[in-house]
A and B are shown apart, each in its own frame.
Chain A
Amino acid sequence: MSRPQDIVERALGYSVADGCVVIVAETTEANLRWAGNGLTTNGQMASRSVTVISTMTRGESAAIGVVTRTLGDVQALQELVRASESAARDADPADDYAPLVEDYPHDDDWEADSATTGVEIFSSFAPALGEAFDRSRERSELQYGYAEHQLTSYFIGTSTGLRRRFDQRDGRVQLNAKSDDLTRSAWAGVHTEDFSDVDIAALVDGLHTRLEWARNRIDLPAGRYETILPPTAVADLMTYAYWKASARDAEEGRNVFSKAGGTRIGDQLSDLPLTIRSDPAAPGLTCPPFEIVVASDGALESVFDNGAPIAATDWIADGRLAELVRTRSWAAKTGGQPTAFAGNLIIDAGGTADLDSMIATTARGLLVTSLFYIREVDPQSLLLTGLTRDGVYLVEDGKVVGAVNNFRFNESPIDMLSRAMEAGRSVPALSREWGDYFSRTAMPPLRIRDFNMSTVSAAS
């Protein structure tokens, strides 16, 4: 099959549109899945998709055609370009029109081959997992979980002369341990770029500790509790808030960042010195430093912005809402500055305490392991519902005294920030709920006052 660089050049060569963007994404991935101390499914996959975006000028704006195909056969390329042009020719002017991004200096190695992965990435992980199964059998525990490595090489070319490429490396491990009577359960998850930093034995031992904590079972009623959210749960809640951080929606009065007469930019959302930011260069969480958009979502991302650089941005600085996500089109219409949605999210309040020391300084409160099935209940307040999962622990006088029943919570991540009493040390954290789509996050554990555990769940 031809090289992606050649596909980009050839497609741009075929184009007779007023403007053209070609995006090639080459993906390879491998995965292992297990349940009850045995492997269940596995696989490896390779794919290549080509997106052609054609623009046709219409006065001050342009119409657009966006067509994506899996391309095993380069003969289909010309037809793909024509399909994109024909869609653009028939279309009305696009709502999110902005001029295509012009070429600018950068350090990408355009000619480098695509990076690939395969099951061999698990060559030391798989035996370690087998040993973990053995150890779990000895402890009368069961292991469930999933490991995945995915590598995507992106190539973008535009008719304005820009060429950019990026290799995205993403791996994830999720572990769930249960007692063999299935009454006690614990979970851990990590993001990794290459599996070299995954210590499966340590993760499994950590889960064992939590299963031991759960030997003492305590029933608590629904109510508002001082609650320690671990980094993964903070990632669950704040990633959702990030997806809703559209400047356009806020300025149109239709999201949680709107207020009477304007937006909440400048408002103090937390008394803690919280910074919430994105930075494509963040070590261990690297993501594309330029925009790759195959479908516009007018509130957050626009295909017209393909190739535009993504700068590090503070969304919240010192607890104050500093910025919202703004496409180039919306920025031009409103006189604002474009601020691109980036593929990672980092929260830091300068805290140094780890989870253990936050437990040690708790008089009485709940410690959550992870959250599940999070859905928006009220977009106005960004009230979210969901459940605690795989371990809620009662902490008294600085010690975990046992496992509590699970709860359904109803909480808004934005309101919650105003009740954040303490932030611990920010660490890489995999969101359990959204890690399939957004896995690059670093979060501190947060201590929240009056977290709303709305009803009790019988699930264990």
Chain B
Amino acid sequence: MAQIDPTFLALPARRLADAALGRARELGAEHADFRLERIRVASFNLRDAQLESATDTEDVGLAVRVVHDGAWGFAAGIDLTPDGAARLADQAVATARMSKVLSKDPVVLAPEATYSDVTWISAYELDPFDVAEADRVGRLTELSERLMAADGVDHVDAHLTHVLENKFYADSSGTTTTQQRVRLQPQFTAVQVDRSAGAFSSMRTLASPTGRGWEYLNGVGCDLDGEIAELGDLLAEHVKAPSVEAGRYDLVVDPTNLWLTIHESIGHATELDRALGYEAAYAGTSFATPDKLGALVYGSPVMNVTGDRVVDHGLSTIGYDDEGVRTQEFDIIRDGTLVGYQLNRHMAAQQGHNGGRSNGCAFADAAGHIPLQRMPNVSLKPAPNGASTEELISGVERGIYVLGDRSWSIDMQRYNFQFTGQRFFKIENGRLAGQLRDVAYQATTTDFWGSMEAVGGPDTYVLGGAFNCGKGQPGQVAPVSHGCPSALFRSVNVLNTKSEGGR
């Protein structure tokens, strides 16, 4: 059983919190919270099985956020002394005073129970930082070399990032939490170059980033060895594959691709801060505005979507959010209808959703940044007795089976999206009939989800995800997972990316 890293526990978190929260109280703040965070990131890149870069980065800092006279104030620094912490409280109150004149309605926070001195640790077996660096690089080298040896593979890019995240939180209501998460992302890309034609093609492994430890590289939760063994042949077939004919196709979308479509067209669209316009100038707004709650038909009746920060190995999973709220699971879409939003304490109080309680979606990516409303794991439910992927394919006369994420883009209100993938198989009369290339699928969110005829069963369910979900100004990056089954969509617009490029 994992323990909170003793070197994090050795930091004077409680003394700093007392100094900051005490100072904020003296200055008349009606609410104050304090975070001490340490985020350690190791990143490795290998090019053709040679080490290109290995970095080990640690960010430690503290932050004080206040509500003072109804206005927000925030300050962050790196001076881990009681004086330094108290000074941040001074600065936070000073920024709140400056903001007051430009603010509209006074800030009120949704109530939350007090959790005094609780600890939470994510579900992993072995923190990769506890594996010798030579062994970590050795495993990447071994897999790279195996992939390099495959026929038709000219170059291999290998990448691994792993993170150890520690968060200490304390607030003026008496909640104190100490938490630890581990996550990692391995990726291998095979490249084939045809020098005489001046052409190149590539294909990447499908194993997703995950809230697991080093065991993931050794076959727990994914099969990297198996993926590496077949990637060379798949790339060789891809290189020779015919270019897709643009038009309408039925799609069977594998979870390794569908997670990203969920992320972009449901995850971001149901962030309440976006729907209320806080991101209007940057990440954008949402077509799913609060007046449509309970009425908007998001998709077909087989569509059921939840938000959660509790599932094992989920990248957004944690015990308590960055406002001291205990994490939960909640409905976002039920039987195809929009029924819920992602909330923080400010918006839960202001809008009254979820009975006026936050559903625990506040997150800051580092001590230096203010907590924003960030995405929980947003997941599409499988059908309890649903079909296998093969059975979904068997119901398609003329279609494409889509695997792996690649290019992605969606508009600022989350209507028009366009996705590519790692590999595409033609479906003819219910069977796979070889790969296609140059495929992109494009749709409007509600049309696409409305065209979802069937979701697969629990056996097809995979938790995908990303390390790099961006939002906010100053920009923040959040890890998040999305679980989903394979699913069948009818008559989706497919583009040929070569002809889009005028070639």
Contact = CB atoms under 8 A, between A and B. Distances in A.
Contact of B102 (A1, A130, A295): A130
A66 interface: yes
Nearest to A27: B368
Interface in B37-80: 43, 45, 47-48, 50-61, 71-80
A460 to B, nearest CB: 7
A260 B418 contact: no
A454 B501 contact: no
A297 interface: yes
Contact of B99 (A39, A92, A95, A148): A39
Contacts of A129: 102
A133 B101 CA distance: 12
Interface stretch (B168-176, B188-196, B376-384): B188-196
Nearest to B279: A35
A428 B5 CA distance: 48
Interface in A420-460: 436, 450, 452, 454-460
Interface stretch (B116-124, B145-153, B409-417): B409-417
A386 interface: yes
A144 B370 contact: no
A174 B198 contact: no
Given A456-B416, A458-B415, A68 B409 contact: no
A99 interface: no
A130 B101 contact: yes
A436 B369 CA distance: 15
Interface stretch (B131-139, B331-339, B395-403): B131-139
B55 A66 contact: yes
Interface residues of B, number: 93
Contact of B195 (A178, A261, A295, A415): A261
B267 to A, nearest CB: 14
A235 B53 CA distance: 29
B281 A175 contact: yes
A459 B416 contact: yes
Contacts of B76: 43-47
Contact of A35 (B51, B71, B79, B280): B280
B53 A66 contact: yes
Contacts of A402: none
B134 A375 contact: no
A41 B371 CA distance: 10
Nearest to B445: A458
Given A43-B76, A68-B57, A298-B45, A148 B501 contact: no
A47 B77 contact: yes
Instruction: Bin the interface of chain A by size.
Output: 35 or more
A284 interface: no
Interface in B424-447: 438, 440, 442, 444
B277 A295 contact: no
Q: Which of A295, A380, A411, A459 has the most CB of B within 10 A?
A: A459
B284 interface: yes
A432 to B, nearest CB: 9
A195 to B, nearest CB: 15
Interface stretch (A107-115, A157-165, A251-259): A251-259
Interface string B104-129: 10000000000000000000000000
B475 interface: yes
Nearest to A432: B282
B474 interface: yes
B53 A258 contact: no
A90 interface: yes
A383 B75 contact: no
A16 interface: no
B78 A254 contact: no
Interface in A105-128: 119, 122, 126
A119 B98 contact: yes
B256 interface: no
Contact of A43 (B79, B370, B409): B370
Contact of A383 (B103, B408, B501): B501
B98 A126 contact: yes
B330 interface: no
A33 B53 contact: no
A46 B78 CA distance: 7
Interface stretch (A69-77, A272-280, A333-341): A69-77
B155 A69 contact: no
A374 B412 CA distance: 12
B421 to A, nearest CB: 11
Nearest to B73: A42
A252 B197 CA distance: 13
B42 to A, nearest CB: 10
B45 A174 contact: no
A252 B287 CA distance: 44
A65 interface: yes
In the A-B complex, the 7 residue pairs with the closest CB atoms: A260-B198, A176-B281, A38-B104, A457-B416, A459-B413, A410-B500, A39-B102
5 contacts: A35-B276, A83-B56, A254-B155, A295-B53, A383-B497
